[in-house]
Structure 1
Amino acid sequence: MSTSEHDPADAAATTETPGSAEPEPGRARVVAGRYRLQSVLGSGSMGTVWSAYDEFLHRPVAVKEVRLPPGVPPSRAAELRERTLREARAIAVLSHPNVIILHDVARENDEPFVVMELLPGPSLAALLRDHGSLSPPQAAAVADAVGSALEAAHTAGITHRDVKPGNVLVARDGRIKLNDFGIARNVSEATMTRTGMMLGSPAYIAPEVASGGAVTPAADLWGLGATLFAAVEGRPPYDADGDPLETVNRVVHGEAPQPGPGPLGPVIRGLMAKEPGSRMPLREVRRRLYPLLAQPRHTLFGPELFAESSANTAPDRGDTTATQVISAPALPEPPKPEAGQAGAGGAPAGGGELAADPGPLPFESPSHPVSQEPVGARPRGPLPGVAVTVVAVLLFLAAAFGGFVLTRVVAAQPLGPPQRTDAGPTAPPLRELAPRRGDATNLRGARGGLFSVQVPEDWTKFVSGETGGGLPPRTLVQFVSSDGTQSFDVERFDSEPLLSPDVYWNALGKLWGGNLRQVEYAPLTDGRRGLLLSYRTVESSPVRPGEQSERPLNRTTFAHVFQAQDSLWVVGLTVPTDQEETARTRLFDRIMPTFQIIE
């Protein structure tokens, strides 16, 4: 999976080592007792990728070993290891001809290794570097394959977040695959990226992601457009002389780059719209690419493209196309005074240590000119001191107000306070309800867990097995909002004896301890035997840089807990507590009556 031998800077593509075969026993490191590492295909800030041999199934594979980026504190080591496992979970749900196949996740000394198919070919980044831009039919074939892979990923609720040439593989037989979902984020998971930090490739990152906004599938549309731009132009859409922070600044504040004339120009411009909601949908992208796909892919990419090249025309500078952790840009330094001029506060130009005594203030009241006598040579009356203090306070207030006005004007924000809205500042827009089905059956082949419900049409379904908390094993079916903040959950418990609503509530109280607060506890009035529960929970969220402790995350749950068909069902809505009032009436009271168990 990760780096081509032609592209070691970016752990993104895999290529088969020429003449690779079963290695000589005892000569290489073996992972998990079966994967014999042969050679390094490439390494980057997020990991090292090996060409390896699976001694159990007798086939070549690619093995990615996690690597901690330079400067990352030890406290984040576990997070980066979890990101590697997240990559495996993300890809495991995808079965698509344009997505790299996941074989296994192995552990060696508690370190995760992701085992994937080894594709015989370089990355698109390597092809562009060694052979220049692609022809329109070649670029269209790449865009169509990547677009098809993204359609499958988005349907599964996965956002890739790092679409770029280094993560597109082109095989000698014409196969084109999207790779390295290493920072993919299932929309039901909370993002691991900290405030003030970004994870991505500066030259290809979407503007809203670079500026700290929400990560949605629209970010992948931008990445596809940026990749297509690089394919037809032979260069990244943004690259400020290898400076990651300046490149990100241009992505956020600069104009979208304009491709040269050609049939793919309208598609690139449609994908690289600065406003996420204005980007061209994948279905429309593929429709426009169709006329350029007449030639078979295996004839589009001739053998000359896969010949090894020792030429490297890349300048000796930083790399803005590699996936990396990017700190928030630092504040610009004040301009240095020219030679001979005084610096701030009257200090001579050229710097130096601060004096032990800063001396008198650089101004005096008009009626009392600055004295030429040494400090402390004669006593001063109270009036000049008062005047100096008043003037200093007035100047400070004027500077503070001026700075506030300037900041608001530059940010194009009104000077007055923000207007409150009744819907709450974090509530996503409500879509029309659409009928959905789910299966909360615990055992494969069992019956009785089928149900139907109507939820907002843009919510994504996820199914997982749940254990622990003093409760029997169960299947959890979730319908999660597009921003990941709201979810409608369905659980079904099969146990002997039959679990009662009161026993469930008591187990919930033990699980949360002092972090659960009951709001409502009443019998159901819809004919079912059970309880209407409403409660608030508090859990910890990740610590932001500069914070000394974890921040509380407040959520509210509305649920019906009832017995039906010899099972206990728990059906409810969970939302941020600041959306509690509107979510009760706009979501829960509308969705819950539509829930039906299918006989």
Structure 2
Amino acid sequence: MPANDNDDLAGAGRLIGDRYRLERELGGGAMGTVWAGTDELLRRPVAVKEVKLPPGMPDEEAAELRERALREARAIAVLSHPNVVTLYDVAREDGEPFVVMELVPSQSLAAILGEHGPLDDQQLAVIADGVAAGLEAAHQAGIVHRDVKPGNVLIGDDGRIKVSDFGISRNIAEHTITRTGILLGTPAFIAPEVAAGEGVHASADLWGLGATLFAAAEGRAPYDVGDDPLATVTEVVRGPVPRPTRTGPIGEIITALMVKDPTQRMPLTEVRRRVQRLLPEPGARPFAMLIDPEAPTVRVRTLVPPAPSTPQPKSPTLDVPSAAPLARDPGALPFELKDPPPRRRSPWAVAALAVAAVVLFAAACLGGFTATRVLAGEAVLPPRGTPPSATSPSAQGGNLRMAETADDAKHTAAPRGGRFTVLAPVGEGWQRFHSERTDVANSLVVSYVSPDGRTEIAVQRYGRYFGSGRDLDDYVAALPTVVGAGNQVQLESRTDTGDGLRLVYTTTLNPVVGVVGQPEQRSTAAQLVQRGDDLWVVRVTGPVDHARTNMRLLVQVAPSLDTSS
């Protein structure tokens, strides 16, 4: 496949741990970047997951990301199964971990559903059998995946099914590393007991499998309440379980897996037993017409070129039989694998770099502060006698602590780019959610939700939005779709800010069918900005009686959005 134009700038060609050569970027997300590469020692293709720490990330969060990468490595290191991506190694470069895994020419189930829609019963049976087999192996090893969803199911170009991304998995023998206020998992596919904060057990993966099969059979996620991840989680916990329209064994399996009582869910062995008669004949390729051969994650099945040979001086040959058997235990390696030695710098160079870093940092802080105050329409200097503050008024009363937070908004339609920083709440009890959506276009939403669930600050990226001929008016016209079918939206104001639009609108959320309740009104202040071909939306949503507070928060948060990283 052709290399990405930005590969050289992003790190293609780097040698990790004196062994793994990074070649091209395959994709990434909040955890970092996945590369296609080559193991130069064994001459085989590999996938390398790089943990990327955004500048300015607090030490505690950086340590958690590193530990999360190592946790994934520990989880799959104990697994050896054809339906689980195989771990090869964990290498370190400049102190950062790189997880080296099997490179599977494949596409995710999410990508295939987005392109082709619902699957047939035979294809669903293959997915159910493969994912159930992989999860069985994980559970037998004491590993709970915790994030089973279409994006973590890989369909190989040869028809193999692989379960991937054990990044938030948990060994039942380990303590959790989930920080207070952060819910790990995808709202539309998370098990009700996990969303409610109860203990995580293997039965949570049974729900995830059922929700994944529901999406593959129906062409939509089982739960998705507009653009509100908290409402989605609430519906998972309190709302009725959606029923598939698919009949026969597949419908029965989905219904038996998506049961709110974890003890009543269908076992994985029974799932596999029920799909056996639906499976294709050996050698059949039920996904052959669905896999895109030009997809970057498929066009990795290339032969690793042999190492260049150099002429060797002739020497006497030993009379050794060519078919001599290999020893059962070859013994220790004739060399030692270790971290590369640290580079040494002269003391004068270190001192000069330190001074330059301090000067640049001070200039960046001053420039960023000035730009934020100017764009927000406020004086650069605070009023005399008023001490500087890192707090903002909150909708719940009192002050809200804000800090620059780094995250990633890569998604299926735009797997490159997407890193950003923004001022976000850091108070205890605020929850951060990531959810991929498709309304006016495919997008990724990073939401920060208040402890009482009434206020949401969100950053949404529609990658490549403008490259398809859309404009800001298309987004405004699609607001009823953006807020979710069955809800009403009233546009209160629209202001041209020079670099985009500022919107204020009121949404009336109707109760879900089958649930008794009153409509709820919420007010949203949103800033739409264009960055290249991407549309970025920063919005603050809360009760209608907090509309002025929402706008004050938006005026502070929106100018802080930095997508240049």
Residue number among 87, 91, 102 corresponding to 1:102 in the alignment: 87
Which whole-Å deviations, capped at 9, do the CAs of 1:369-408 have from their partners, x for residues lacking one?
A: xxxxxxxxxxxxxxxxxxxxxxxxxxxxxxxxxxxxxxxx
Distance 2:53 2:256 in 1: 36
Distance 2:52 2:236 in 1: 27
| Letter in structure 2 aligned against 1:243 | D
Higher-Rg structure is 1
Corresponding residue for residue 554 of structure 1: none
Identify if the C-alpha distance between structure 1 residues 18 and 233 changes in structure 2 by more than 3 Å, giving closer, same or farther: farther
Corresponding residue for residue 241 of structure 2: 256
Residue number among 434, 439, 445 corresponding to 1:315 in the alignment: 439
| 1:122 pairs with 2:99 | no
How much has 1:329 moved relative to structure 2?
5.0
Distance 1:147 1:66 in 2: 29
How much has 1:295 moved relative to structure 2?
3.2
RMSD between superposed Cα atoms in Å: 3.1
Residue number among 243, 258, 268 corresponding to 1:282 in the alignment: 268
Moved more, 304-313 or 79-88: 304-313
| Letter in structure 1 aligned against 2:227 | G
Identify if the C-alpha distance between structure 1 residues 88 and 331 changes in structure 2 by more than 3 Å, giving closer, same or farther: closer
Corresponding residue for residue 359 of structure 2: none
Return 5+ residue gaps in structure 1 as ranges. 1-16, 334-409, 411-599
Residue number among 181, 192, 206 corresponding to 1:196 in the alignment: 181
| Letter in structure 2 aligned against 1:37 | L
How much has 1:317 moved relative to structure 2?
6.7
Distance 1:89 1:58 in 2: 24
| Letter in structure 2 aligned against 1:58 | R
Identify if the C-alpha distance between structure 1 residues 130 and 208 changes in structure 2 by more than 3 Å, giving closer, same or farther: same
| Letter in structure 1 aligned against 2:185 | G
How much has 1:296 moved relative to structure 2?
3.5
Corresponding residue for residue 78 of structure 1: 63
Q: CA contact under 8 A between 2:280 and 2:286: conserved in structure 1?
A: no
Corresponding residue for residue 292 of structure 1: 278
| 1:332 pairs with 2:454 | yes
Distance 1:243 1:117 in 2: 36
| 1:137 pairs with 2:122 | yes
Q: CA contact under 8 A between 1:52 and 1:60: conserved in structure 2?
A: yes
Q: CA contact under 8 A between 2:12 and 2:22: conserved in structure 1?
A: no
How much has 1:314 moved relative to structure 2?
3.4
Q: Tell me, what secondary structure is at the counterpart of 1:198?
A: coil
Q: 1 or 2 for the larger relative contact order (CA 8 Å, sep ≥6)?
A: 2
Identify if the C-alpha distance between structure 1 residues 170 and 71 changes in structure 2 by more than 3 Å, giving closer, same or farther: farther
Corresponding residue for residue 307 of structure 2: none
Q: CA contact under 8 A between 2:159 and 2:288: conserved in structure 1?
A: no
Aligned residues between the structures: 314
Distance 1:298 1:70 in 2: 48
| 1:243 pairs with 2:365 | no
Q: CA contact under 8 A between 1:242 and 1:317: conserved in structure 2?
A: no
Residue number among 185, 188, 191 corresponding to 2:170 in the alignment: 185
Distance 1:70 1:142 in 2: 39
| Letter in structure 2 aligned against 1:314 | T
Distance 2:448 2:282 in 1: 40
How much has 1:27 moved relative to structure 2?
6.8
Q: CA contact under 8 A between 1:243 and 1:319: conserved in structure 2?
A: no
Identify if the C-alpha distance between structure 1 residues 332 and 243 changes in structure 2 by more than 3 Å, giving closer, same or farther: closer
Identify if the C-alpha distance between structure 1 residues 318 and 294 changes in structure 2 by more than 3 Å, giving closer, same or farther: closer
Distance 1:246 1:74 in 2: 31
The share of aligned pairs that are identical, in percent, is 57
How much has 1:290 moved relative to structure 2?
1.3
| 1:93 pairs with 2:217 | no
| Letter in structure 1 aligned against 2:439 | P
How much has 1:131 moved relative to structure 2?
1.2
Distance 1:327 1:259 in 2: 30
Distance 1:90 1:153 in 2: 8
Q: Tell me, what secondary structure is at the counterpart of 1:197?
A: coil
Q: Tell me, what secondary structure is at the counterpart of 1:141?
A: helix
Residue number among 208, 227, 240 corresponding to 2:193 in the alignment: 208
How much has 1:315 moved relative to structure 2?
2.8
| 1:67 pairs with 2:52 | yes
Which whole-Å deviations, capped at 9, do the CAs of 1:177-216 have from their partners, x for residues lacking one?
A: 1111111110010111133321111111111111111000
How much has 1:36 moved relative to structure 2?
1.5
| Letter in structure 2 aligned against 1:161 | R
Distance 2:117 2:47 in 1: 27
Corresponding residue for residue 33 of structure 2: 48
TM-score normalised according to structure 2 size: 0.51
Identify if the C-alpha distance between structure 1 residues 218 and 166 changes in structure 2 by more than 3 Å, giving closer, same or farther: same
Moved more, 242-251 or 266-275: 242-251
Q: CA contact under 8 A between 1:161 and 1:220: conserved in structure 2?
A: yes
| 1:159 pairs with 2:144 | yes
| Letter in structure 2 aligned against 1:255 | P
Q: CA contact under 8 A between 1:198 and 1:325: conserved in structure 2?
A: no
How much has 1:318 moved relative to structure 2?
8.0
How much has 1:70 moved relative to structure 2?
10
After the TM superposition, which residues 409-420 of structure 1 pair with which residues of structure 2 at under 5 Å, given as runs? none
Q: CA contact under 8 A between 2:3 and 2:24: conserved in structure 1?
A: no
| Letter in structure 2 aligned against 1:175 | R
| Letter in structure 1 aligned against 2:253 | V
Return 5+ residue gaps in structure 2 as ranges. 297-411, 414-436, 456-516, 518-565
Identify if the C-alpha distance between structure 1 residues 249 and 308 changes in structure 2 by more than 3 Å, giving closer, same or farther: farther
Corresponding residue for residue 273 of structure 1: 259
How much has 1:126 moved relative to structure 2?
0.8
Q: Tell me, what secondary structure is at the counterpart of 2:277?
A: helix
TM-score normalised according to structure 1 size: 0.49
